[in-house]
Amino acid sequence: MNLYIRYFDDECVVTSVDDALRFIATIPGFVMTPQFERDFCEYAEGPVPYPKRYKVRPRLYFIVIKTNASTLEEFKANGKGENADGTQAAPMHEGNKERYGMLRHLTDEQPGWYEATLNFKRVVQSAQTGKFEYVDTLFVARVKAHSGQDCYNRIIDHLRTRADIDHRSQFPSVKGKNFRYTFLGIKPYAEVAV
């Protein structure tokens, strides 16, 4: 079993643990310890087929993937769709394809009407205890905007200025699964057939 190792744009496919350790030693700021070497050897020679990531420093990692490919070109051509045991990786779930397409076009200029749903954590006071708690709240709106990103920004601005929404409420990321939008068209939303 060969190993694919990647740290940002530096990547390689190696055929031995020693070659892998030599490549890892060139990663700037990574300190090679005996404990790391033992763990890495156990992973490389063990039966676990899953990728593994190792921390270089806070929020920076390098990844190791077991592969049957013997060269970097072969890995890029075939290895990404194949698990370490030679079986084909599962295709992307339909919902993930839709989400990926939505994120890819998030900032594309397309003026018109959008329908968006936003699920956020609203701070409300409990009637029984008098304490404040977070409650999942679904907000649906039709917004005139220039892009999906602009639609999100307008909704967040609106919610933050409403007197009935506590300032401690938490809003999801525009790229998170709790925000979805659909472009309806350029006509006023009352005329749009949905």
CA distances from 73 to 7, 70, 76, 77, 78 (A): 17, 9, 5, 6, 9
- DSSP for 21-42, please give it: HHHHHTSTTPPP-HHHHHHHHH
pTM score, whole prediction: 0.48
- Cβ atoms of 114 and 184 within 8 Å: the answer is yes
Q: What pLDDT shows up at residue 158?
A: 93
- Cβ atoms of 66 and 3 within 8 Å: the answer is yes
Pick from 13, 9, 163: which is nearest to 80 by CA? 13
Q: What pLDDT shows up at residue 183?
A: 87
Sites in the chain below the pLDDT cut of 70:
79-103, 188-194
- Cβ atoms of 147 and 108 within 8 Å: the answer is yes
What is the enclosing helix (H) or strand (E) of 102? helix 94-104
Q: What angle do CA 36, 39, 42 make, to 5 degrees?
A: 150
Q: What pLDDT shows up at residue 90?
A: 43
Boundaries of every domain in the chain: 2-81, 96-191
